Amino acid sequence: MERLPSIETPTLTKAELAELLFERLGLNKRESKDMVEAFFDNIHNELVKGDDVKLSGFGNFQVRRKAPRPGRNPRTGEAIPIRARNVVTFHASHKLKAVVQGEAPSPGDFE
């Protein structure tokens, strides 16, 4: 599916994902919504536990610990400390990167 460039960044919502499951797989709307919610709940729960989430052919979500560091208020120039914190990072798979760059045909699925 080719998208035209626009000023706004297109957003794919959970409701739209559920609608796609309903249309393409023939699940009823409640099952589609529940499946999408369960998928994101599983990812959320694993990341909260500190575990990585690997989606074959798509990419990896990882929780990383960022160390404390000195920062600066851009308006005033005042030095402020930035506390240590956990962040979630995403690294796209080589397959996904190739498709996005147009170097590989878009597969029907991400296996």
Tens digits of residue pLDDT in 14-52: 999 999 999 999 889 999 999 999 999 999 999 999 999
Has residue 52 been placed in a domain? yes
Has residue 9 been placed in a domain? no
Report pLDDT for 11: 86
Tens digits of residue pLDDT in 50-96: 999 999 999 999 999 999 999 999 999 999 999 999 999 999 999 99
Has residue 75 been placed in a domain? yes
Give the largest CA-CA distance in the chain: 58
Q: Are 47 and 63 in contact (CB under 8 A)?
A: yes
Has residue 7 been placed in a domain? no
Residue 111 CA to residue 105 CA, distance in Å, equals 14
Has residue 108 been placed in a domain? no
Has residue 94 been placed in a domain? yes
Q: The domain containing residue 62 runs over which residues?
A: 14-101
CATH code of the domain in which 86 resides: 4.10.520.10
Answer with the residue of higher pLDDT: 67 or 106: 67
Q: What is the pTM of this model?
A: 0.71
Q: Based on the structure, what is the number of domains in the chain? A: 1
